[in-house]
Structure 1
Amino acid sequence: MARNKTYQAIVLTVKNSGESNREAVFLTREEGLLRATLFGGPKSKLRSHVSSFNRGTLWVYHDPVRDSRKVTDFDVETWRPGIREDYGRILAASFLVELVLQGHGGGANPEEVYLLLDESLEILAEAQRDQRRHLVLCFIWQYLDILGIFPDFSHCGSCACPIGHLDILWYLPDQNLLVCSTCRERAAPSAGLAAVPLYPGFRRWFREVHKQHGPQALRYTLEDEVLARAIQVGEGLYTAFSGKRIQWHEE
């Protein structure tokens, strides 16, 4: 088994380990999530290169006896300084990273997640506030699709009746279901009160955006209320899947 491996990788998180070392988590195109130790003091070139949101070529040494991995080099291809220059962008980027971590890097689909995250971070590096909100929304729902937990927009999750193009779907957090208006009224009082509307405008928006890539997707916008509810529903679906509460806080 080869002890030295090369990856295309995005740095997700870096934290101190011991007096001078760091533990880094990468999203690799080839294998998904990868954890490795970064050795070296403050003057080490690698410490500045292995920084959150950077993308590049990663060299790792694997010790099969200890089952440990060491970063031997990282050639940065994209630095993305624009993310670090804006607090709102940092919050959004950190949220995307947290989603990827909790979803175990997409499981059996690491390349799809890698490409989605790389593209999203690239756009985020220059995105304004409204663009950030749409970017986060798009990422959540595309990630749900990659994970195989994308809901059915065409039928009620309770009675299976067809949903019309102008009908509102209601998300019931307690049951993790998207239901029609009739089933929402039949739900227990607490579930009915907590129901979150998923408006027809969002479903039309997603059908268009899902066909687009990169900056083209940001040409399609949503009203603030529709956007906020769609983010809330996406977060609820993801929380039910991961077992951990996830919520994006804007600046």
Structure 2
Amino acid sequence: MEVHLVPAFADNYIYLLRDAATGKVGVVDPGDAAPVKAALRERGWSLTHIFATHHHDDHIGGCTELKAESGATLIGARADSHRIPGLDIALDDGDSVTFGGETAEILSVPGHTRGHVAFWFAGAKALFCGDTLFALGCGRLFEGTPEEMWGSLTALRRLPDDTAVYCGHEYTLSNARFAVTVDPDNPDLRRRAEAIAAARERGEPTIPFTLGEDKRTNPFLRADDPGVQAAVGLPGADPVRVFAEIRSRKDHFRG
């Protein structure tokens, strides 16, 4: 499965997918139709599927226009049926959907929003997680609780280390600056933060990243790690409490 990044707005990423065997073309979280249409024209592709991880307008704002022009099938969470106009296939946690020769499993990952889902393409080793998991970060808790988000992150953490993660935003540089304040003695994190700073200086995206790398360096995935717990002054505490403390610190971080 081919995956192409389509930048949008200030820091969003939209993803074009193509199944080479069948020629099916999908798009993930098209907040803006214009760059998607330009990318399709450039490649001579015709859109057949639209995947929506959650209802925020910067992720679905282009869905109606793209669907009207292409006839593509719009796929998203049943829990968000009332908030994603024109949803054709409404799915629940554990359901699956076929995209050409690939199959995506639906993972319910509430926290950022109540109805948030991720699309896990096991065959392609690709995860499209919207605003639940970011490189070295996670989404703000606009509708969910720390318990829900920690549960969602641990569910994603169980996927294979070689999973390529495609998230909704280029927040990585800021996330790295924050992460080293929480986990300053992590040599893997220090090396990754330096590589991220260099990549952004060159104008390169930091997405996709591998899940294994994030498991070693993302403090939001490591709220049950004794080192992270000690670093935030909560040794031996419930991971949900530790996660909530890290999330609160990030919410107030300026860097």
Above 0.5 in TM-score? Answer: no
- Normalising to structure 1: TM-score of the pair? 0.30
Higher relative contact order (CA 8 A, sep 6+): 1
Indicate the structure (1 or 2) with the bigger Cα radius of gyration.
Answer: 1
Normalising by the residue count of structure 2, what TM-score does the alignment of the two structures yield?
0.30
Query: Which one has a larger percent helix, Structure 1 or Structure 2?
Result: 1
